[in-house]
Amino acid sequence: MAVRDFEAAARATLDPVHADFIAGGAHDEITVRANEAAFRRLRLLPRVLRGSAERELGVELPGARARMPVLLSPTAFHRLLVPEGEVAAARAAASAGALMIASMASTVAIGEVAEAARKAAPDGEQPALWFQLYIQPDLEITEALVRRAADAGCQALVVTVDSPVHGTHERNRRNGFHDLPPGLRCENLVDLRDGESGHVRQIVMSPEISWTQVDWLRRITDLPVLLKGVLHPEDARLAVRHGVDGLLLSNHGGRQLDTVPATLELLPEIAAAVGGRIPVILDGGVRRGTDVVKALALGASAVGIGRPVMWALADGGEAGVGRLLELLRDEVDDALALCGATGVRDVGPELVRPPAPPGR
């Protein structure tokens, strides 16, 4: 079983329109393909005779500790795939000790997602749960969302900054898929103002959001704030200057601006810009344990997966995501052992070699 097999299994059961919603990217999907291709091109060059009987896979991240270096990037609309939706993903993540970033566009409210995670976590372990936020131009609404996430027990906020406007997904256009079907809604966006009853807001993508709102957010909350979708090294330096607590180096899985570089290609430059002052987490195209090790070696503190979680959910709900996380955990452990590494912190750039010539 490989991560790819989850995609095939999901395709076999899913409505093709929903399968396209998951697979798709912006415009020509050049960046979607580039993310995976970048991992395939890079080579690992292992050390020998220096390993250990067990590998340390745990990672410390802002506000949270996880038992594995692979986390669940935020993905919307889980109830399109299984009736329990985000609850299924949260349970599987909490059992596996993987950090989950719950999407603002979740079809289950964050309070319920957090409760499910707490119940599924092993005794005495606090599940690692962050909340992904699109800063809304209406700051009162944003503040209400932040309060919900904090009250639910989320340990950090991940502000997605690569979406000043919606990405253009031509597959969705062709399929006429624009919104959730009747009966499903973005539960975090219900009744955000006092006195409302059953009022669901649309998520507003606003090109006017700037560092001013990021600074404001840091003032109104004690939670660590990470930015998701910073790609330019100059913005990474600005993020450090503005006091953010971490970066999620992401091109939204190729779903926003098409033709941006693969995240893996940008990682060395972003890691250098940040200079170890804040953690950098990478997502986009991670499909194998060796991909995880390559990203860690080039300076990531952890990696995120998006589509694989959706495939596993569609294939088997909570059990499916459980199997996916176990598979990746085993592959990471195996790749670290084969690299002569004692754990996730024991890998550096000396373990990777430049891209092979095209076609290899």
Q: Which residues are catalytic?
A: 252
In sequence order, the β-bridge partners of residue 282 are: 249, 303
Considering the rule CB under 6 A, would residue 132 count as an interface residue with ligand FNR? yes
132 is in an annotated binding site: yes
DSSP state of 205: P
Give the one residue of 252, 288, 294, 329 binding ligand FNR; rule: CB under 6 A: 252
* Region label for 272, one of left (φ > 0), alpha (ψ between -120 and 50) or beta (otherwise): alpha
DSSP string, 159-198: EE-S-SS----HHHHHHT--SPPTT---GGGBS-STT-SS
Contact flag: residue 167 with ligand FNR (CB under 6 A): no
> What number of helices (H) and strands (E) belong to the chain?
12, 12
Q: Which residue is nearest to ligand FNR (CB)?
A: 306
Residue 51 CB, shortest distance to ligand FNR, in Å, is 29
Give CA–CA dist 288/319, Å, rounded.
Answer: 19
74 is in an annotated binding site: yes
Residue 136 binds to ligand FNR (criterion: CB under 6 A): no
Nearest Cα neighbor of 96 from 336, 333, 334, 327 is 327
- Smallest Cα–Cα separation from 213: which of 130, 104, 140, 132? 140
Cα separation, 348 vs 360, in Å, equals 24
Q: Binding residue per annotation — 134? A: yes
Binder among 82, 310, 325, 352 for ligand FNR (CB under 6 A): 310
x-marked contacts with ligand FNR along 216-235 as a string, rule CB under 6 A: ------------x-------
Task: Give the residue numbers of the binding site.
Answer: 74-76, 103, 132, 134, 160, 228, 250, 252, 255, 283-287, 306-307
Indicate the annotated binding residues for glyoxylate: 132, 134, 252, 255
List interacting residues with ligand FNR (CB under 6 A). Answer: 21-22, 35, 73-76, 103, 105, 132, 160, 228, 250, 252-253, 255, 283-286, 305-307, 310
